[in-house]
Amino acid sequence: MAESSAAVRGGAGVEYPTDNYLTHTQGLRSWLFTLDHKRIGVMYLVSVLASFFLGGVLALLIRTELLTPRQTIMGADTYNIIFTLHGAIMIFLFIIPGTPGSLGNFVLPMMLGAKDVAFPRLNLASYYMWVIGAIFALVAIVMGGVDTGWTFYTPYSTTTNTAVIPVVLGIFIIGFSSIFTGINFIVTIHKLRAPGMGWFQMPLMLWGLYATSIIQVLATPVLGITLLLLIAERVLQVGIFSPAYGGDPVLFQHFFWFYSHPAVYIMILPAMGIISEVIPVFSHKHIFGYKAIAYSSIAIAVISFLVWGHHMFVSGMSNMASAIFSALTFAVAIPSAVKVFNWVATMYKGSISLATPMCYALGFLFLFAIGGLTGLFLGSLAVDVHLTDTYFIVAHFHYVMFGGAVMALMAGIHYWWPKITGRMYNERLGQIACLLIFIGFNATFFPQFVAGSQGMPRRYFNYPERFTDYNVFSTIGSYLLGLGFLLVAAYLIHSLFRGRPAPANPWGGATLEWSTPSPPPPENFEEEPVLGDHYDPYDYRGLVYDPRIGGYVQQHPH
Amino acid sequence: MANMLLGTANGSILGQSGPTFWMPRELSDHASDVDWIFNYILYVSLFFFLLIIVLMTVFVIRYRRRPGQEALSSPTHNLPLEVLWTGVPIILVGTMFFFGFRSYMDLGVIPLNAYEIKVTGQKWKWQFEYPTGYIDEDLHVPMDRPVQLTLTSTDVIHSLFLPNLRIKRDAVPGRYTKIWFRASEAGEFPLMCAEYCGTRHSDMLARLVIHPRGEFEQWLTKASNFLATMPPVEAGQRLYQLRGCKQCHSIDGVAGIGPSLKNLFGHPVQLQSGQTTADENYIRESILEPSSQIVAGFEPVMPRIRLSDAEVGALIAYIKSLSEAGQGVPVGGSTTQPAATQPAA
């Protein structure tokens, strides 16, 4: 293990380091023009969480409207706009950039032992691309919103008179943000690993981010081209997708899902990376099956490009194509299953602490298992014909995206919060909020599986009376869920002002970011980390808890 | 949650065709097939879900952190175990693929003797055209006979969803898609649009009416002859609803894409080319040759619709009934000229 600065500081008690990346320079300009990956990560974190808040408020409006089978609080057209904005904001402004932009930016260089990413200016440009895209989305909301659903299916999207073009332009621009981040991460991982860090000494978070970046760089341009074609058709009446101009509406679905299915893995792969860090640290136990987890990330990234057609089994696509897409869809289930087994095996004979990040990680395992297993129903052709476009789909992807990606992001935020802010949050409140979110989540989304298999189509403003109970249950769950997140916001904000100063290594992590003070100095490490021949980011031997500083110190370097 | 899942899974074994916790009533062999595959995947998933959750819970309790106790040593990888937990899921998902594929292919091979009904989706209604040329807003089918639906759409993508038959197919503008089924039980069941299509997407509902053996033909003969059996005003109202008139022409006086039909008959009409009075001949010509006379302020967008003389007659009777000027005037022959030319106001 590398020399640990925490050990040097151990025994002195914990003081908030006065010269750190947050205090090194002051003023608004020092943030707006910063090239520090940590500050860009923080700006991303604040921005995506603001988007999450906005998308969440829209979600609660949707659920409130669905409290009764008829009109409850808004008209049908408003409802259609709100569910479209909820989807578009959550997907394009929150989940896709969420983990890579915020936590990825913050921890990737530090985990590599680097001072920054390979292209700091490109990194800042990526953030501003996100901001410009978000402004377009806000402009569209001011212009009355858009009512196509986040999927922008043609010919609906080429004929509706709502603000399709600004939203689509916004997403086009955000695509560049995604590509820039991806390029940056790939180059940084290839070129800036600390001396002595081989590919298989990298923390698994980095394998997750690497696989994510490959998808971002290869798939996002296809979305960009598709959206430009959509604009061309609306503005210039070029016949591409709309049959009215001689186009093919199903072609749009192929193009759209060629990006948007891999995009699902842009959302979940970094989440899997976070879980691969949190579970071993809080089990105080070496990760089980490192190489299997690393390779399965790459396998998922590759196979994810070949399954897009499973969104279109009822579109009239050829039977041969459907069969191939179904088989490949099942193939992508395997690496995910392997990861889950590895995570559970990691806990075997561990020393398991149920600190807040671990609670979220366990919640992730539970919810992601349901999300993944319900995917099997949808991969199976004949069953998908019944379930597609119903609430079963809505429940399935919320279990994967929310139960998977967002729970993991919550685990990651709580895990790295002391490192990012230099403050500890209230542990007890963290656990209570996690439980509240877990219960609220299941109450919201589990009934939707049943409503869907019973035949309730998605995107319904009015619904037949027989689906009332499922919807009422779901809506009550969503309020609980909202309450849980409010509690999280409250104690995290409180911790910024009143939180106990964080030690360098509060959880006993062995990855490099824990060997530098919290918050880290501007260039990440006081001395450049040099790794021994046997560096292992999951070797916790010698890390012991020091009650005087409330964190872990390295006792016997080996 | 696990208990709830288990209990419901058992419930689905007990009732074979009735509604279960997960599925609505099933009406065909294909639906039973789908439910069987659904249950197969459900049990396999439950097994793995419980395996993961039980192990996780046991580990958390058994190996919880205690003061002064370190993690125990155990291998960081185990090849036979890892091969096992990769291989077994591969085999299981292979079977899931196979069953789903086989059943899906059955949907793709349409029996040669299938009874064909043409389905057109449009914002926001379904039209079902039977071999007699009769068009209905509900899907009526014979029991125990293969029925083929040939779908298309006139505007955006819709999707015909029959939950009790476990089938769904997109109606795509500019192309035809097909699906078939054989219903094994008579009754009325829901039919819904499952592809988002705008404002009234969730109101794009219809009925699936399955007629008992021998009764479908009687229904079709009677329905196809509604012009002969119904009073003209009612028959005209039915045509107004079935043939798409109401999509553009309201009956409440509010102009839509076309002018409203309320108080039209017998009243003066301002055309782009001059003024006329809405009598039988004007209405007949407006229906059969829509672009020949355009009302001022509207676009020439109405398509020509194939209608027989009897159908036009019924529509005229209905339009008359919407106007005070037309009340009480019997519809019938082609010469009611004197009544119509009387200035109404």
CB contact under 8 A, B190 and A350: no
Domains of chain A, residue spans: 5-13+31-554
Q: For the residues A331-336, what does the mean pLDDT come to?
A: 92
The burial of B138, by beta-carbon neighbours within 10 Å (0-12 exposed, 13-18 middle, 19 or more buried), is given as middle
Searching chain A, which residue's CA lies closest to the CA of residue B105? A319
Q: Which of B27, B57, B196, B204 to mutate to test the interface with A (most CBs of A within 10 A)?
A: B196
Q: What's the token pair of residue A31?
A: 């943030």
For the residues of A99-138, what is the DSSP string, one character each? HIIIIIHHHHHHHHT-SS-S-HHHHHHHHHHHHHHHHHHH
Q: Which helix (H) or strand (E) holds A346?
A: helix A319-347
Q: Whole-angstrom Cα distance, residue A549 to residue B207?
A: 70
Q: Which of B50, B93, B204 to mutate to test the interface with A (most CBs of A within 10 A)?
A: B93
Domains of chain B, residue spans: 2-62+79-108, 115-224, 230-341
Of A77, A331, A352, the CB nearest to B63: A352
Cα–chain center distance at A22: 25
* Closest among B123, B136, B121 to B172, alpha carbons compared: B121
- Residue A557: per-residue pLDDT: 53
**pLDDT band of A12, cuts 50, 70, 90:** very low
CB contact under 8 A, A455 and B24: yes
**pLDDT band of A425, cuts 50, 70, 90:** very high
CATH, domain B230-341, list 3.40.50.10490, 1.20.1260.60, 1.10.760.10, 3.20.20.140: 1.10.760.10
- Residue A106: per-residue pLDDT: 95
Q: What is the ipTM of this complex?
A: 0.91
Distances (CA, A) of A190 to A118, A124, A177, A209, A342: 10, 20, 20, 12, 26
CA distance, residue A180 to nearest chain B CA (Å):
34
Residue B234's CB is within 10 A of a number of other CB atoms, namely 15
Q: Which range, A138-152, A201-215, B296-310, is most confident? A: A201-215
CB contact under 8 A, B199 and A80: yes
Strands B268-271 and B177-181: unpaired
Assigned architecture for domain B115-224: Sandwich (2.60)
Residue B341's CB is within 10 A of a number of other CB atoms, namely 11
Q: Which range has the worst mean pLDDT, A8-17, A139-148, B121-130, B260-269?
A: A8-17
- Residue B232: per-residue pLDDT: 86
- Residue A556: per-residue pLDDT: 65
What CATH number has the domain spanning A5-13+31-554? Answer: 1.20.210.10
Query: Assign residue A468 a region: left if phi > 0, alpha if psi is -120 to 50, beta otherwise?
Result: alpha
Can you tell me which residue has the tokens 């136990």?
A285
- Residue B344: per-residue pLDDT: 38
Q: Whole-angstrom Cα distance, residue A525 to residue A192?
A: 14
Q: Whole-angstrom Cα distance, residue A479 to residue A485?
A: 10
- Residue A11: per-residue pLDDT: 39
- Tally the C-alpha atoms within 13 A of residue B330's C-alpha that lie toward its C-beta: 3
Query: Assign residue B260 a region: left if phi > 0, alpha if psi is -120 to 50, beta otherwise?
Result: beta
Q: For the residues A408-424, what does the mean pLDDT come to?
A: 95
Is the predicted pLDDT of residue A333 greater than 80, yes or no?
yes
Which of the two residues, A543 and A480, has the higher pLDDT score?
A480
Is the predicted pLDDT of residue A186 greater than 70, yes or no?
yes
* 3-class secondary structure, B274: strand
Q: For the residues A506-522, what does the mean pLDDT come to?
A: 92
Q: Whole-angstrom Cα distance, residue A390 to residue B176?
A: 23
A153 interaction partners in chain B (CB closer than 8 Å): 156-157, 195-196
pLDDT tens track, chain B, 345 positions: 443 444 444 344 434 477 899 999 999 999 999 999 999 999 999 999 999 999 999 999 999 988 777 777 888 888 888 999 999 999 999 999 999 999 999 988 999 999 999 999 998 899 999 998 888 989 999 999 999 999 999 989 999 999 999 999 999 998 999 999 999 999 999 999 999 999 999 999 999 999 998 899 999 998 888 888 888 888 888 888 887 788 788 888 888 888 888 888 888 888 888 888 888 888 888 888 888 888 888 888 787 777 888 888 888 989 888 887 666 544 444 444 444 344 433
Please report the sign of the dihedral spanned by the C-alpha atoms of residue A476, residue A49, residue A87, residue A373.
Answer: negative
Q: Whole-angstrom Cα distance, residue B252 to residue A263?
A: 49
Interface subset of B 61-100, CB within 8 angstroms of A? 63-66, 69-78, 81-82, 85-86, 89-90, 93-94, 96-97, 99-100
Is the predicted pLDDT of residue A558 greater than 80, yes or no?
no
Alpha helix locations (H) across B214-263? 215-224, 226-229, 232-242
Is the predicted pLDDT of residue A3 greater than 90, yes or no?
no
CB contact under 8 A, B41 and A380: yes
Distances (CA, A) of B5 to A453, B1, B12, B46: 14, 6, 11, 8
Buried b or exposed e, range B108-120, using 16+ CB within 10 angstroms: eebeeebbebbbb
Can you tell me which residue has the tokens 């707006």?
A32
- Residue A408: per-residue pLDDT: 96
Q: For the residues A238-265, what does the mean pLDDT come to?
A: 89
Query: Assign residue A285 a region: left if phi > 0, alpha if psi is -120 to 50, beta otherwise?
Result: beta
Predicted confidence (pLDDT) per residue in A480-492, tens digit: 999 999 999 999 9
Distances (CA, A) of A88 to A57, A78, A79, A85, B249: 14, 15, 14, 5, 36
Which of the two residues, A218 and B67, has the higher pLDDT score?
A218
Interface subset of A 378-397, CB within 8 angstroms of B? 379-386, 388-390
Is the predicted pLDDT of residue A370 greater than 80, yes or no?
yes
* 3-class secondary structure, B271: strand
Strands B135-136 and B125-129: antiparallel
- Residue B327: per-residue pLDDT: 62
Buried b or exposed e, range B305-333, using 16+ CB within 10 angstroms: eebeeebbbbbbbbbbbbbebbeebebee
CA distance, residue B85 to nearest chain A CA (Å):
7
B170 interaction partners in chain A (CB closer than 8 Å): 314-316
Mean pLDDT, chain A, whole residue set: 91
- Residue B332: per-residue pLDDT: 43
Crossing angle (nearest 10°) for helices A105-112 and A204-236: 140
- Residue A276: per-residue pLDDT: 96
Distances (CA, A) of A383 to A309, B37, B99: 15, 7, 10
**β partners of residue B171:** B158
* 3-class secondary structure, B20: coil
Contact B302, B258 (CB under 8 A): yes
Residue A348 touches partner B, C-beta closer than 8 Å: yes
pLDDT more than 90, % of chain A: 74
Q: Whole-angstrom Cα distance, residue B284 to residue A543?
A: 92
